[in-house]
A = this chain, B = another copy of it.
Amino acid sequence: MRPSGRTPDQMREITITPRFTKHAEGSVLIGFGETKVLVTASVEEKVPPFLRGKGEGWVTAEYGMLPRATHTRGNREAAKGKQSGRTQEIQRLIGRSLRAVTDLKLLGERQIVLDCDVIQADGGTRTASISGAWVALRLAIDGLMAQGKLSADPLTQKVAAISCGIYKGTPVLDLDYDEDSNADADANFVLLENGNIAEAQATAEGATYDEEALLRLLRLARIGCTDIFAAQAKAVAK
């Protein structure tokens, strides 16, 4: 029934290539099927103005899509002179999600910026970004710890994200572009390894949904995140 032939609760292949670029303190190329996102973590020994002198750090994110990551070329945001509402919404979500698993006091007065750039898009770019950002952040913090700059590990646990949706009346896991552009409802869940929820967003597109559907989407998300946690663990193992 799914265009890709997957079963409703089947993820696409998850591929994680840690240390994909050489300059960043942490970097990863993450793939959810044909969706490919490059995430870098940059450590900066300064914090935004609102945190100066408070002894706390900050984790933030920026998101971008290369103009031809998509089926038809989109305008370059740098050339248009502004980031779209969609871009800003996504980068705010990524930042919040990673801060949910970071003890900002333990990080100290420094900032880690997570740049998520979509090389190729096939649905799920924001959830791949979050899932990859955890790997880049883990690598960057490992580096800080190896340099003795942290007294304790500020990263409290894993976080992952996945999209689900109602496609032709059936809740399915990990929407690809064909499904995403025709779904009745579209949800993104950001889950912690301990089972807790950092963010739940479920939006009616073609049709509104009921409480039962919301719960089924959440359960699908749990299945998907279990796979992502395993892939993350493997990627950051020595």
Contact = CB atoms under 8 A, between A and B. Distances in A.
Interface of A: 21-24, 27, 34, 36, 38, 40, 42, 44, 62, 64, 66-73, 76-89, 91-92, 96, 100, 113, 115, 117, 119-121, 192, 195-204, 208-211, 214-215, 218
B197 A100 contact: no
Nearest to A62: B76
Q: Is the interface of A mostly helix, strand, loop or mixed?
A: mixed
Nearest to A92: B85
Contacts of A22: 34, 120
Nearest to A25: B68
9 contacts: A21-B69, A23-B68, A23-B120, A64-B76, A192-B208, A197-B209, A198-B208, A214-B218, A215-B215
A198 B207 CA distance: 8
A89 B92 contact: yes
Number of copies: 6
Nearest to A29: B119
A204 B100 contact: yes
Given A73-B42, A202-B197, A202-B199, A66 B117 contact: yes
Nearest to A78: B77
Q: Which 6 A-B pairs have the closest CB atoms?
A: A85-B88, A77-B78, A196-B208, A40-B68, A42-B73, A78-B78
Given A21-B69, A85-B89, A85-B92, A76 B115 contact: yes
A73 to B, nearest CB: 4
